[in-house]
Structure 1
Amino acid sequence: MLKLTSFAVVAAAFISSAAALPRGRDWEPTSTRNDNQNQNQWPKLVPAAPDAILDLSTTEGTQNYICDAYAKKWSLYAAEAVLVDSYGQKVGKHYFVDASPYWHLYSDDSYIGTKSVLKIPPPSSITGDWWSSTSAPSSHSGSKWSQPSAPAAPSTATSPDIPWLVTIRTSGSESGTMSQVGYVVRTYTQGGVAPAIDECVQETHGKVQKVPYEARYLFAK
């Protein structure tokens, strides 16, 4: 299992400049949004993690939030999403168990549960040249990347997209594909942000609102 400090290194690789994907065709979100302001900062491709096992995405999913009118906030309650491969075939699902994210594969009935260890601002929230100035490790051996230069902290603004996320394994099946996964990284997010705070009022207290989103998930050792 990788140490927390290693995750920062891996994250730097994910947000690096353009790199080739290790599969037959380039991946890109099924729906695109005109975003000229951040066009230069958005990486066209994202390199796969070291020892990547799976590269899946979701085009049918929601981030589900529950309103707490007394605390005046929306809290992430669950997620519901269908996982598809590079050919658009439905191969699994993403869901929550006791507030923890899980991913399940249909083919071998394997699954993994994780916890978040690092949030990465989505490209739509970045200002300046932080994305273009972030460099990736030049080489790796197994799951150990060579140490890259630490990027400066980005300037962020309100984003319509949920953060990119690095999560580490906490539970899962003892056999099957997911038993080999040590962490899951959420990238290329679109949508999924919690409703506005002023929509959480006494009348909506305890109610769940499902917000559509898309993402690409990378599963690695």
Structure 2
Amino acid sequence: MKLQATVLSCALAVLASGCAQTPPALQPSQAELPLLTLQAAGTQQYECRGAANGPQWTFVAPEADLYDATGERVGHHFAGPTWELRDGSRVTATVSARHQPKGADSIPWLLLAARHADTPDKLSAVTSIQRLDTVGGAAPAQGCTSATIGAVTRVPYAARYVFFARRGA
């Protein structure tokens, strides 16, 4: 219950903060237009793993619910990264560019290039995805030691995802 309250608080913080200006590096092509905007509220999962410079928290996957402008849950965001709507349509993507927002506790803003399955659906026209206005989600600064290798932690986060499609698609 505490996690749900924290995630909800993060999502409300994103909505209350308004939309900051998107850095130029995260702008999609001028041939693309916004198709869909969704709010995400969930967690970023990290695992404590050994590394050359000592144990560190390593990103594993996101787990978040997706909400439309009315607050209705319309989908889910998970490993891949993948965004899946309730009707079964889905899109995966790879990171093209990133921008670190102010505040060490927030995950980077991203521009992602969409990859698709061969099935036509609601998200099949998506060419780019932005992750913006992030709140929380950054890996913990402490707690990963040689004694805790293999431990998993989930850090609450919220973000705004904007899905773009080519003009005329």
Tell me whether the two structures share a fold, i.e. TM-score over 0.5: yes
Residue 118 (structure 1) aligned with residue 97 (structure 2): yes
Q: Which amino acid aligns with 2:97?
A: L
* Equivalence for 2:115: 170
- TM-score with structure 2 setting the length: 0.77
Q: What is the identity, as a one-letter code, of the residue corresponding to 2:73?
A: K
Q: How does 1:22-41 map to 2 (within 5 A)?
A: 30-31=12-13
Give me the whole-angstrom Cα distance separating, in 1, the residues matched to 2:86 and 2:45: 23
> Over residues 78-133 of structure 1, what are the superposed CA-to-partner deviations in whole Å (9 max), with x where a residue is unaligned?
1100000000000000000xxx20000113x11011111100121x24xxxxxxxx
Matches within 5 A, 1:32-181: 44=20, 50-59=32-41, 61-70=42-51, 71-96=54-79, 100-107=80-87, 109-122=88-101, 124-125=102-103, 159-172=104-117, 174-181=119-126
> Residue in 1 aligned with 2:163?
219
Q: Distance in 1 between matches of 2:133 and 2:21?
A: 9
Q: Distance in 2 between matches of 1:88 and 1:45?
A: 23
- Residues of 2 paired with 1:117 and 1:208: CA distance? 27
How much does 1:173 deviate? 5.4
- Tell me the SS of whatever aligns to 1:217: strand
Hey, what's the Cα distance between the residues in 1 that align with 2:145 and 2:89?
40
Amino acid at match of 1:160: D
**CA RMSD in angstroms, aligned pairs only:** 2.4
Deviating 4+ runs (over 6 angstroms): none
CA contact (8 A) 1:52 1:218 kept: yes
Q: Select 2:127's aligned residue among 182, 189, 195.
A: 182
Which amino acid in the other structure matches residue 121 of structure 1?
Answer: Q
Give how far 1:215 is off. Answer: 0.1
Aligned partners of 1:57 and 1:83 also within 8 Å:
yes
For 2:125 and 2:68, how far apart are their aligned partners in 1? 18
Structure 1 portions without partners, runs of 5+: 1-28, 33-38, 126-158
C-alpha contact (below 8 Å) 2:48/2:150 kept by paired residues: yes
1:219 deviation in Å?
A: 0.3
Q: Distance between the aligned counterparts of 1:209 and 1:166, measured in 2? A: 25
The residue type paired with residue 211 of structure 1 is V
Kindly provide the CA deviation profile for residues 6-34 of structure 1, in whole angstroms up to 9, marking residues without a partner as x.
xxxxxxxxxxxxxxxxxxxxxxx5126xx
Q: Which whole-Å CA distance do the structure 1 matches of 2:19 and 2:71 have between them?
A: 22
1:52 deviation in Å? Answer: 1.1
